[in-house]
């Protein structure tokens, strides 16, 4: 079967990366977590003191963008590419609630988006890619053969992310996670540059009550339908 481009967008913690990774494994496609790139830039900004709870030095971050080098390295054990920031593996560091609390502010900056979108488009130029994020079907790959928009209730999403963080040993409360999910959804859907919207031809899937297996079956059927 001819290789296609699959764009998966949606609100935070809708399980986009879970389905994207499973799809990539099944189809032997490359999986790219575009959110990891925004998280890595956020981590860089935090490390350099450009952002904290009270303050964001946008201009200095923009000036520093040429010094931010991002790449993914495939980890065969995990089955996906891990995020490297200036040649250091930051896969763990970028998944904290602290990074989550700043990332949507960083993702509002057009200069950051332009840099990351260009790199994402290069990664997809051979097709055979599954990418998840907020603007994949609208901005990064507007010509993707298959576009999926994932949704689930805010409470379901917060519970999933809370369980995930707890399992990793993070000391967070459910309320804190719910607040973060809601705040990010608000900023992501209201920002000026590339807001999260449902792409024209996207197929919406609400997975609040779907098991992983059901969701994978539905999406694989879509691949067969749209991949020809
Ligand atoms: O895993 P989760 O869905 O919570 O978020 P993520 O995919 O890791 O993305 C983190 C944040 O990066 C989002 O809340 C957006 O603010 C931003 N992002 C974006 O603006 N555009 C993308 N293509 C991907 C992520």
User: Each residue of 94-124: pLDDT tens digit?
Assistant: 999 999 999 999 999 999 999 999 999 999 9
Cβ(103) to ligand 1 under 6 A?
yes
On whether the CB atoms of residues 112 and 104 are closer than 8 A, the answer is: no
Tokens of 23: 């799809």
Least confident of 59-63, 134-138, 152-156: 152-156
Structural contact between residues 189 and 183, judged by C-beta atoms closer than 8 angstroms = no
Distance between CA atoms of 22 and 159, rounded to whole angstroms?
21
* Contact of 195 with 107, CB cutoff 8 Å: no
Atom of ligand 1 nearest to the CA of 104: 16
Q: Which residue has the tokens 């967070």?
A: 172
**CA of 214 relative to ligand 1 center, distance in Å:** 24
Phi and psi torsions of 151, nearest 5° = -135, 160
Of all residues in the chain, the percent with pLDDT exceeding 70 is 100
Specify the pLDDT at position 227. 80
Distance CA 34, CA 115 (A): 12
Per-residue confidence (pLDDT) for residue 228, from 0 to 100: 55
Percent of the chain with pLDDT over 90: 95
Q: pLDDT of 41-79, one tens digit each?
A: 999 999 999 999 999 999 999 999 999 999 999 999 998
Contact between 110 and 191 (Cβ < 8 Å): no
Does ligand 1 have an atom closer than 6 angstroms to the CB of 104?
yes
Mean pLDDT of all residues in 135-149: 97
* Cβ-based burial of 190 (10 A; exposed 0-12, middle 13-18, buried ≥19): exposed
Cα 37 to middle of ligand 1, angstroms:
9
Q: What's the rounded Cα separation, in Å, for the pair 38 and 55?
A: 18
- State if residue 107 touches ligand 1 by the CB under 6 angstroms criterion: yes
Tell which one of 9, 12, 163 to mutate to probe ligand 1, the residue whose CB is within 8 A of the most ligand atoms.
Answer: 12
The number of the ligand 1 atom at minimal distance from the alpha carbon of 106 is 16
Looking at residues 12-24, what average pLDDT do you find? 94
Please report the atom of ligand 1 found closest to the CA of residue 33: 7
What pLDDT sits at residue 226?
A: 86
Q: How far apart are the C-alpha atoms of 175 and 195, rounded to whole Å?
A: 25
The response to whether residue 135 sits with its C-beta less than 6 Å from ligand 1 reads yes
**Residue 19 predicted with pLDDT over 90:** yes
Say yes or no to pLDDT of 85 above 80: yes
Residues whose CB is less than 8 angstroms from the CB of residue 149 and which lie 6 or more positions away in sequence, other chains included: 9, 10, 137, 198, 199, 202, 203, 204, 205
Nearest atom in ligand 1 to 185's CA: 14
pTM, to two decimals: 0.95
| Rounded Cα–Cα distance for residues 228 and 207 (Å) | 25
- What structural domains does the chain harbor? 5-221 (3.40.50.300)
Distance from the CA of 77 to the center of ligand 1, in angstroms? Answer: 24
């Amino acid at each position: 079967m001819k290789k296609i481009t699959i764009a998966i967008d949606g609100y935070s913690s809708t399980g986009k990366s879970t389905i994207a990774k499973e799809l990539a494994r099944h189809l032997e496609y490359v999986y790219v977590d575009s959110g990891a790139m925004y998280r890595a830039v956020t981590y860089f900004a935090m490390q350099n003191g450009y952002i904290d709870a009270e303050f964001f030095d946008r201009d200095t971050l923009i000036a520093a963008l040429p010094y931010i080098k991002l790449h993914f390295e495939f980890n065969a054990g995990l089955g996906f590419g891990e995020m490297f920031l200036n040649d250091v593996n930051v896969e763990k560091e970028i998944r904290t609630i602290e990074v989550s609390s700043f990332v949507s502010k960083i993702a509002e900056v057009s200069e950051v988006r332009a840099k990351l979108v260009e790199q994402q488009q290069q990664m997809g130029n051979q097709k055979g890619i599954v990418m998840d994020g907020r603007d994949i079907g609208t901005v990064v790959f507007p010509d993707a053969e298959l576009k999926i928009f994932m949704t689930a209730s805010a409470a379901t999403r917060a519970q999933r992310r809370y369980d995930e963080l707890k399992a990793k040993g993070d000391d967070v409360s459910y309320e804190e996670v719910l607040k973060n999910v809601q705040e990010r959804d608000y900023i992501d859907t209201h920002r000026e540059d590339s807001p999260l919207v449902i792409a024209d031809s996207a197929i919406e899937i609400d997975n609040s009550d779907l098991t992983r297996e059901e969701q994978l079956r539905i999406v694989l059927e879509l691949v067969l339908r749209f991949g020809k």
